[in-house]
Amino acid sequence: MKQISSVKEKALEWGLSERTVAAMCKEGKIPGAFKQGHVWLIPEDSVKPEDNRITSGAYIKSKELLPLPVGISDYILASSNYYYIDKTLLLKDFIDERVMVSLFLRPRCFGKTLNMNMIKTFFEKSDEDTSVYFRDKKIWKQGQKYRDYQGKYPVIFLSFKDVKYDNWKDTLEKLSNLIGDEYSRHRELNDSKKINKYDKEVYRRIVERKSSVSELSDSLLLLTKLLHEHHHIAPIIIIDEYDTPIEQGYNCGYYDEVIRFMRNLFSGGLKDNSHLSFGFLTGILKIAKESIFSGLNNLTVNSLLDEKYSEYFGFTTQEVKEMCKYYKAEDKFTEICEWYDGYLFGKSEIFNPWSLISYFRNGFKAASYWEATGNNEIIREVLSQAGSEIYEGLHKIMEGNRITALIDLDVAYPSIRKNPSSVYSFLLMAGYLKPSIDKPLYSDGEYLELSLPNKEIAIVYRKEILAQLETLVPQSLTVAFKEALFTRDTYSLAKHIRRFLKESVSYYDTIGENFYHGLVLVLCTVVSDQYSISSNREAGYGRYDIQMMPRNKLMPGVLIELKNEKDVPGDRLDEMAKEAIGQINEKEYETELKKTGVKNIIRYGVAFSGKEVRIITE
């Protein structure tokens, strides 16, 4: 069969506008061109005809550049009217592998919804010949084996990305509306004579939003059954951003209700369902099997650590180079790499598509475009339980260093409080961190070296992650810390810390030194734009607790040493604070500060006992 091209493809090849090429087809200037529906199709080997325009002198019309698809997740629209980076070989990889249920985990704004819409458009049976939207794409050039899948299956498509309510009642109503709308989209079932009376009654109740919760939780199973019976081929299920309502439920106190509903919904539709051909899910986090995917043994997870499908979410280096060439921005490539490259999916270096498109649309202005469109409540909760090691690690990352951390891709929300180190897993999966390119998983398969991907995320990290640390203590305390840091008003600072401990902290939370160490490190974050914070590092003849290295060497450096004992009187607290100052001097902790040219050094000795605190300075 002769290969076919679209008007768009030939327009790019010949350097003409799509309108001009379409007019040539209409005027019969392109042999073999034919119209299918409202779309002109052209033999791939056609040569550029004469268009009778003046092509010399001052009148040479420049090629019209396609706009960029900012925020567009509709495949037909994006691939037909915008500059579209062809990701259709994802379909080939899936057809070759034929996994029953696939879960794709990627950060927000990395093209998950657009890819799921592409999958829907490719596989779905339709009255329209949707093959025209793939005839100029890479998948069509792979041969008849892959074309035979096009337009073959009924498809169920649900997107949960906007299910963000603060109570279960509104969440259930939204889910009912989404499922009801999808039932209504398959209107052929309403009058089908191939399904029984009882199933048709349930179908109508779901369409009319009159179903019970149990009927709604079984709705995926029922809809696959009805579509299978009507079309004589089992459907495909696509669920985009499946984890959004679950995370929202955890944040807002209705986790048990949403987990129970989702477990039943997914188990019915995806587990051992004879009426299912394939299933696709996307999300940011993988909810632990015991929470929602219990017994779903046919699920294959494709995380950002896996090589499979790694190049299909986000832009590859070659794709970005081609994009720069198309928009005549080759000289911007180095800047683009510094700001928006650096993600590592499997072994593929990936650029952030949302930010890169925004960069082009804003006149090649390098800035942070990947702002806070996600929910950071979980990260804040994890940080609220963290100790000094976590805070120290977060500061190391901010300073451009790598850390080694335990990574667990399975998220069991109820155990988050018990495992503060899971913050690194959240940050990795959410796109704030990247694994090391040159150091793979450690031998036991659980540890990774992590760092910031690029300049943009360094800015976002400071805004969204370190800002979470500041919210863990009252503003009055952070203001007092800033004032006392340079004025040495230790009395006022101790008073604010004492009030915070009495009003906000359980006695049992103040048992270990890690708590106090973490509290002081949190306070240090309020001046992290002026200071590089480090903790528990060797200097002189020992290891200091906290060092604040000024970014401007004219500012003072700060050393803080902490002491902690249980149930001691006030005079002993004073002695402990003096001992802390003595340790700073005796161990010569100021060595590193002096070596870098810092001349003025403030030393703080801080002593804790339960909810009492003493601070002295030198």
User: pLDDT by residue (tens digit) across 114-161?
Assistant: 999 999 999 999 988 999 999 999 999 999 999 999 999 999 999 999
The one-letter code for the residue type at 601 is I
Q: In this structure, what DSSP letter does residue 208 have?
A: T
Q: In this structure, what DSSP letter does residue 463 have?
A: I
DSSP string, 236-289: EEEEESTTHHHHHHHHHT-HHHHHHHHHHHHHHHHSS-TT-SEEEEEESSEE-T
Q: Which residues pair with 157 in a beta bridge?
A: 238
Identity of the highest mean pLDDT range in 167-181, 475-489, 543-557:
167-181
Q: What is the SS3 assignment for 541?
A: coil
Report d(CA 380, CA 200) in Å as an integer: 47
Same fold, 1-64 and 75-302: no
Q: Check if the beta carbon of residue 492 is closer than 8 Å to that of residue 500.
A: no
Report d(CA 302, CA 106) in Å as an integer: 9
What does the mean pLDDT of the chain come to?
Answer: 85
Domain ranges within the chain, ordered by starting residue: 1-64, 75-302, 314-361, 377-470, 475-617
Instruction: Tell me what the mean pLDDT of segment 160-177 comes to.
Output: 95
Q: Check if the beta carbon of residue 394 is closer than 8 Å to that of residue 444.
A: no
pTM: 0.76
Q: In this structure, what DSSP letter does residue 347 have?
A: T
pLDDT of residue 442: 47
Residues near 393 by beta carbon (within 8 Å), at least 6 away in sequence: 403, 405, 424
Radius of gyration of the chain (CA): 30
Return the higher-pLDDT residue of 380 and 29.
29
Please state which CATH number belongs to domain 1-64: 1.10.1660
Burial of 220 (0-12, 13-18, 19+ CB in 10 A): buried
Kindly tell me if the per-residue pLDDT of 292 is higher than 50.
yes
Kindly tell me if the per-residue pLDDT of 380 is higher than 90.
no
Nearest in space to 300 (alpha carbons), one of 574, 63, 98: 98
pLDDT of residue 59: 33
User: Encoding tokens for residue 579?
Assistant: 């001992």
User: Encoding tokens for residue 540?
Assistant: 């002189």
Q: Which residues pair with 301 in a beta bridge?
A: 103
Nearest in space to 238 (alpha carbons), one of 202, 208, 281: 281
pLDDT of residue 56: 36
Nearest in space to 539 (alpha carbons), one of 531, 529, 530, 549: 549
Kindly tell me if the per-residue pLDDT of 411 is higher than 60.
yes
Place of tokens 């349930």: 202
Please state which CATH number belongs to domain 75-302: 3.40.50
